[in-house]
């Protein structure tokens, strides 16, 4: 029986939660219904847009852009400061509510989570009915809205939740991929970062469908393992289960708050190199290898971002950890000053446990052994022919030659 996975995502979380709290305290205007953003300061014109209303989006305002640019696009823009303590409180309430349905909840950020709906599906006439109940109850009890994506795996459920917003339920089952997902721009694919999108566009890959129909080996040549992963995602492939206990809690990691903000890729990668060395040493000391690597960035304005990737083979080597971390960093860095960097390893295994070789590793080893066997057979044949023509003593081992000389003395 296939899984039934929900991805539940709060619509413009910071803005929605701020709006709900303001309305509770007597505000007459709902931030969600006017051009408004969360982030920065109008007087100093510093900071970036952390969240925006639908009205603000119509002015071309984007999450992550400088506040000064947003004001330029919409001079009457309403700006509210972030309140991370408030957001944590609303997030906690939401997760507690969702766990009232099932404890199979994997929270991936303050405003989104996956729910494995499979076991509780028989309580409802359909997954759609269950998702609609959850969505409507969130709005009724808390005053903010969520989108719910439904599918057979986490990737497709997340893609579905990003369809039309707000306050919607969408499905994206495997038989709907070609119709609903393939026509979308490549930039809307999960894990397709800015640099990857730019590279793919140079290859004339414009849509998710274009990517899905590419030769994955060609993508690996250009984008290494990330190219293969993007191709799998474009074809809806994802076998990762909902993990109620975060793997990071079982991992080994390190982070550092920088004395001065890192502003260039070179500065950031130098820090990542040191962190990778630290994580690698700790893994080796613990006798562990990591199957997953994640990178965390905290920007100068305290905005957080993180990316993770599954490794083809578990490792505790500094160079491999750094290579993976640097690749993740380049995918998600917004070209903004960095206050903190971190690397965390998870999905740990015993470093000395036997490993299952892949076909790509087994075949070269078999070829190597075959060549060695053929070389030995040719040598034996040559020795046989020489001895046949010149006698058994014509060719002897070096060690035997030494023994013969000693006897002659």
Please state whether beta strands 5-10 and 78-80 pair in parallel, antiparallel, or not at all (unpaired). unpaired
Where does residue 167 rank: exposed (0-12), middle (13-18), buried (19+ CB within 10 A)? middle
Looking at 158-213, which runs of residues are DSSP E strands? 169-171
Burial of 24 (0-12, 13-18, 19+ CB in 10 A): exposed
For 211-232, letters b (16+ CB in 10 Å) and e give bbebebeebeeebebbbebbbe
- State both tokens at 380: 């034996």
Nearest to 206 by CA among 188, 223, 222, 218: 188
Spot the catalytic one: 112, 296, 327, 331.
Answer: 112
Which DSSP symbol is given to 391?
A: -
Tokens of 293: 């690597």
* Contacts of range 254-260, beta carbons closer than 8 Å, 24 or more positions apart: 254/278, 254/279, 254/282, 254/342, 254/343, 254/344, 255/296, 255/340, 255/341, 255/342, 255/343, 255/344, 256/340, 256/341, 256/342, 257/298, 257/339, 257/340, 258/338, 258/339, 258/340, 258/341
Is cis: bond before 166, omega within 30 of 0?
yes
- Please say if 112 is a catalytic residue: yes
Residue 66 backbone dihedrals phi, psi, to 5 degrees: -60, 145
Residue matched to tokens 């957080």? 304
Q: How far is residue 321 CA from its own chain's centroid?
A: 15
Q: Is 282 exposed, middle or buried (0-12, 13-18, 19+ CB in 10 A)?
A: middle
Instruction: Locate the DSSP E strands across 135-236.
Output: 146-151, 169-171
Return the active site residues: 112
């Amino acid at each position: 029986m296939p899984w039934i996975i929900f991805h539940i995502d709060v619509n413009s979380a910071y803005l929605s939660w701020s709006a709900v709290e303001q309305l509770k305290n007597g505000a007459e205007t709902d931030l969600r219904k006017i051009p408004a953003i969360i982030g920065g300061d109008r007087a100093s014109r510093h900071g970036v847009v952390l969240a925006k209303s639908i009205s603000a989006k119509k002015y071309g305002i984007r999450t992550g852009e400088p506040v000064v640019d947003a004001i330029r696009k919409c001079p009457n823009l309403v700006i509210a400061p972030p309140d991370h303590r408030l957001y944590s409180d609303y997030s906690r309430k939401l997760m507690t509510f969702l766990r009232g349905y099932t404890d199979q909840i994997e929270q991936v950020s303050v405003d989104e989570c996956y729910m494995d709906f499979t076991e509780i599906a028989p309580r409802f006439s359909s997954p759609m009915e269950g998702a609609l109940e959850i969505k409507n109850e969130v709005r009724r009890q808390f005053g903010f809205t969520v989108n719910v994506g439904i599918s057979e795996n986490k990737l497709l459920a997340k893609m579905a939740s990003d369809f039309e917003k707000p306050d919607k339920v969408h499905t994206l089952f495997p038989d709907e991929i070609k119709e609903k997902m393939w026509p979308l721009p490549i930039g809307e694919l999960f894990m397709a970062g800015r640099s990857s999108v730019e590279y793919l566009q140079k290859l004339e890959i414009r849509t998710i469908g274009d990517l899905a129909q590419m030769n994955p080996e060609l993508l690996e040549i250009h984008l290494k393992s990330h190219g293969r992963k993007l191709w799998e995602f474009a074809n809806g492939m994802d076998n990762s289960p909902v993990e109620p206990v975060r793997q990071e809690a079982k991992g080994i990691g390190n982070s550092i708050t920088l004395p001065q903000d890192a502003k260039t890729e070179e500065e950031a990668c130098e820090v990542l190199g040191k962190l990778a060395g630290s994580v690698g040493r700790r893994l080796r000391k613990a006798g562990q290898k990591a199957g997953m690597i994640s990178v965390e960035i905290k920007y100068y304005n305290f905005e957080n971002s993180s990316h993770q990737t599954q490794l083809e083979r578990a490792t505790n080597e500094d160079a491999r950890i750094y290579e993976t971390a640097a690749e993740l960093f380049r995918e998600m860095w917004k070209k903004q000053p960095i206050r903190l960097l971190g690397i965390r390893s998870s999905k740990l295994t015993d470093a000395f446990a036997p490993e299952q070789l892949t076909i790509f590793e087994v075949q070269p080893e078999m070829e190597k052994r075959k060549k060695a066997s053929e070389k030995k057979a040719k040598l034996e044949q040559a020795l046989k022919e020489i001895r046949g023509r010149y006698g058994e003593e014509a060719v002897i081992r070096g060690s035997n030659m030494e023994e013969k000389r000693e006897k002659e003395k």
